[in-house]
Amino acid sequence: MPLPCFQRFPPVCSVIDELSADPMATRTALDEIEKQREADFKRAAVEIKKLRVQVQKKIDEKAASKAAEVPIEEGTSKAAQVPNQQENEA
């Protein structure tokens, strides 16, 4: 059994219930709700982009600090050093 409208979509249904006698006012109210939803979506998209940039910076910083911890012998690449380090640990 589906939930009543008010439990599924409280803001929309309350507006419809209150303004059902005036269809033009209802349409205007629904337009305002839609504009607010779009504005909220845009704000969320901007926040997500900011968070992605922050996360990428943290990842880059962590990778840089790990790279700084690994001593590089002259004349060898990092890839060539990895097996040497594993042999030293064994």
Each residue's pLDDT expressed in tens, for the chain with a length of 90 residues: 455 555 555 666 665 666 667 778 878 888 998 999 999 999 999 999 999 999 999 999 999 988 887 666 666 555 555 555 555 554
Q: Give the domain extent around 27.
A: 5-89
pTM exceeding the 0.75 threshold for the entire prediction: no
Q: What is the DSSP letter of 72?
A: -
> In the prediction, which pLDDT does 62 show?
92
Cβ atoms 57, 63 nearer than 8 A: no
- If one counts the domains in the chain, the total is 1
- Residue 24 tokens read as 């033009």
73 vs 83: CA distance, rounded Å = 13
77 vs 71: CA distance, rounded Å = 11
> In the prediction, which pLDDT does 43 show?
93
52 vs 67: CA distance, rounded Å = 22
> In the prediction, which pLDDT does 69 show?
78
Q: What is the DSSP letter of 25?
A: H
C-beta neighbour count of 25 within 10 angstroms = 13
